[in-house]
Amino acid sequence: DTAVSQTPKYLVTQMGNDKSIKCEQNLGHDTMYWYKQDSKKFLKIMFSYNNKELIINETVPNRFSPKSPDKAHLNLHINSLELGDSAVYFCASSWTGDGYTFGSGTRLTVV
């Protein structure tokens, strides 16, 4: 039973399209995150939710909109996709202040 599951695993789409990535955790953690890993493998936080409340919103274009319907789910919607959005997006969860458990990642390619 996967602890943090993300779908889809791969996403290839054209510029200008809108896409969503879904994440679910069954660990009972209170905090969920979205991280972006670029081509140089640098992991940078985008958003964090604690018990459905947005607590971290880094400098991310407002084309990116997270949504947490409950504390086990965190989705990421991206409008008007650009070439520079191509990256691997990781969902993660944790207890506040503890180490993360990552999902398997979504490799987004914008063409």
Partner 1 sequence: QKEVEQNSGPLSVPEGAIASLNCTYSDRGSQSFFWYRQYSGKSPELIMSIYSNGDKEDGRFTAQLNKASQYVSLLIRDSQPSDSATYLCAVYTGTASKLTFGTGTRLQVTL
DSSP letter assigned to residue 85: G
User: Smaller CB distance to partner 1: residue 35 or 81?
Assistant: 35
Q: Which of 22, 76, 26, 20 has its CA nearest to residue 48?
A: 76
Q: Which is nearer to partner 1, 33 or 64 (CB)?
A: 33
Q: Specify whether the CB–CB gap between 17 and 79 falls below 8 A.
A: no
Min separation Cβ 45 and partner 1, Å: 5
Binding site for partner 1 (CB under 8 A): 31, 33, 40-45, 48, 50, 55-56, 90, 96-105
Which among 100, 23, 30 has a CA at the least distance from the CA of 71? 30
Based on CB atoms, which residue is closest to partner 1, 12 or 15? 12
Q: At closest approach, how far in Å is the CB of 16 from partner 1?
A: 28
CB of 59 to partner 1, least distance (A): 13
Task: Please report how close the Cβ of residue 43 comes to partner 1 at its closest, in angstroms.
Answer: 4
Residue nearer to partner 1 on the CB measure, 3 or 15: 3
